[in-house]
Structure formats: C-alpha cells, structure tokens
Amino acid sequence: MVRGKNILLGVSGGIAVYKACALASKLTQKGANVKVMMTENATKFVSALTFQALSRNPVYVDTFDEKDPEKIAHIDIADWADIAIIAPATANIIGKLANGIADDMLSTALLATRADSYIAPAMNVHMYAHPAVIENMKQLEAWGYHFIEPGAGYLACGYVGKGRLEEPETIIEVIEQHQQIGQPLQGKKVLISAGPTREIIDPVRFFSNRSSGKMGFRLAETAAELGAEVTVIAGPTDVKVNNSNVNRIDVISAEEMYKAMHEAFPAADIVIKAAAVADYRPKQVHKGKMKKQAGDLTLEMERTKDILLSLGEQKENQFLVGFAAETDNVIEYGRKKLEKKNLDAIVINNVAAEGAGFAGDTNIVTYLNRSDQSEEIPLATKNEIAKKLWQFIIRDMKDERN
C-alpha cells in the first residue's frame, strides 16, 4: 500500500534517528517515493547525506535553503506528499504541532500538509507520561493525526519502560493496514453509549459506579476515524471525546440514557452499548437532603429499564454489540447475555483482572459473536482495543452480508 506513494519522512532530534534510516530504506525498497526532512538537532545524530543515499532524494533541513526559485520548498513538499511520517517524533515536535508552532522547516511543512499524517513518538518514559505530552497527543488525535505507539523496553537514557520508537517494519505495517482499511465505515451511522449513570437519592447524594466512559469514547473516536457518523450518549464523566467529528449527548440517569438511546436507535446502522447503566434506582427521590438518623438506613430500590434488552427486541437491520463486565464465569455469562438480548456480538471482560478494571487506560477483553467465534485481546490500551474491536465488527458485518 506504500508502493508509488509520495512519503514525507520527518525526522526530529533523538537517539532513535538511527531507526529512521532503516525506515527510509525499507520504504524506498517497497517502491515509495521518499523525501526526508530533518530538524537541525536530528542532523547531530545522523547526517543528511545518509538519508540522501537511502532515499535517493535531496534531504531538507533549512527553511531558507531554497534550491528552486520557482517554488517554496516546504510548501511544495507539503503539497507533494500523500503520506507524512514523523519518526522519531520527540516531545518537542509533538508540542509544536499541537500548538501551531512553525519555527523550522519540518514543523512548517507538517502544518502545511494535508497528507495522512502518522506520528511515531520516541522519548524518555517519564516524558511520554507527562500530562502536557499526553494532552498534546490527544489534541493531535482529535485533529486526525494517527499515532503509532512506542514500544516498551530498555531506553537510551537507561530507563526501562514505554518510549522506544517502534520498529520500522511495524511502522510500515501499521501504515499499510490503515491505508488498506481506509474508511470502511463511510456512510454508516454509529450509536455508542458510554460512562456510568447516576441515580439520585436526594439533592446531594446518588448511586453510581466506577465506569469512566474511556472505552466507549475510544470506540467512538476510532469509528469517526474510519468514516462513520458517530453519536455518543454519555453518562456523567469528566473524560472527553478527543474527536471533533463525534456528536456527544450528555445524560445523567438510566432513564435519560434509555430515552436518548431509543430516540437515536432507528437511524443507526451499528449500536454499541458500552455504558455501565445502573440496574436499580431508589424508589423514592427525596426533594430535600435526607438528615442523619440514629441506627441503620434502608432504601427501597426498583429496577431500571434494561436498555440493551429492549434494543435487541426492537432490532431490525442494526448490528448490535453489548458489553459484559463480569468477575466470575465471564465467558459463560457473556454468552448467555448475547443470546438473551438478541445481540450480534458481545465484548466480555473480567473487571477483577489486573489492568482490566473500570477507569483505567488499559483493558483485557474477549469479543464473541453470535456464531460463537471468539477473539481474545490481551492487555492493551483502550485505544488499541477499540481498533481491534472495530476490525472484528467490520469483519462480521461483511460476513453477514455474504
């Protein structure tokens, strides 16, 4: 998928520049037209001549080194590129892009290009986890940049952890897969529920759960990247959807989520109920604050409406996916839920497992479809899991049509 493509390889200054040499070479061997643009700091690790020999094209470093008076070099290359790859991407270049700073040739060209842009970060493990870097990456993702997450291992600084530039072969594989997939959800309407609900007791108290909405939001963002028109019905959470193409509707209670989901359901093609909705709510809601009393307190609870069950009963052509957060016999309970609620697929996870609980950035899940075909996804970030789940959903939808 890179053969014949015009690829701008942006190289910023880090020890991982040596891997960018291999990346330039492998892209060229695959038939891509590669032009390399380096920051001045990158040239302190590897010379521009090396990349010129590997890419068989001139290498660009200085904004003011205009070789052709009829063209502005950084704009010409920005327009020329089909794909832009920043590898290694330091915290510095990521920060520049996220804040619109163009103070050298590479940052200027990257802001000017309309090419599909892929960012492969490489930095110290603590830098990668810094809130400013995280926010910058989230902003770039919201604008449509694609991240190739770094690997974990021994870093040049001596630390062991996440921050090592992904291997050139993997970078190319990720890009080729993305280019091949393109936007398979183009024209599809996707409806997703995310987060918890709050069931009010009185003006200052409520029942809720530990769901953050992160998994649902990552699914929504990925669907938008794949071309879908996405609506998220979100319970109360501080987590944000990092994609401006996702329509977010905020609700609080299970009843409000029930109404919002049913209102949007008829127009949807794919529906994913990832929200952790309360099964019970207080039978009586107190208008004033309940005062402390001597002894124990008993609250009478009543069942909330089963959103997923009712959607399964009304389903026509929608592809309906549920979530099952369990602690025991997870696959057995998940399979029963899939059958009972007339689902096309279910995502099952053991919330008691380390790394798979609520509110974290990672998860461990099993995807099970109604043909009893299962796919296990080991411990991974919720962003990575969302991408895998959409691969399975798209595959199963194609199988249904066939």
* Catalytic choice (15, 125, 157, 394): 157
Fold of the domain spanning 6-181: Rossmann fold (3.40.50)
What is residue 162's predicted lDDT score, i.e. its pLDDT?
Answer: 66
Q: Where do the CATH 3.40.50.1950 domains begin and end in the chain?
A: 6-181
User: Could you tell me where the beta strands, DSSP code E, fall in 66-173?
Assistant: 83-89, 116-121, 146-147, 151-154, 160-164
Structure tokens, 231: 């609506």
Q: Does the global pTM surpass 0.85?
A: no
Task: Pinpoint the residues of the chain covered by CATH 3.40.50.10300.
Answer: 189-401
Alpha carbon dihedral 210, 347, 174, 9, in 10-degree steps, equals -30
DSSP string of 374-395, one letter each residue:
EEEEEEEEHHHHHHHHHHHHHH
Residue 254 to residue 306: CA distance in whole angstroms: 9
* Cβ neighbours, 10 Å, residue 304: 18
CA–CA separation, 307 and 273 (whole Å): 9
CATH assignment of 189-401? 3.40.50.10300
The pLDDT value given to residue 196: 95
Low-confidence residues of the chain, pLDDT below 50? none
- In this prediction, residue 241 carries a pLDDT of 84
- Would residue 21 show up in a list of annotated catalytic residues for this protein? no
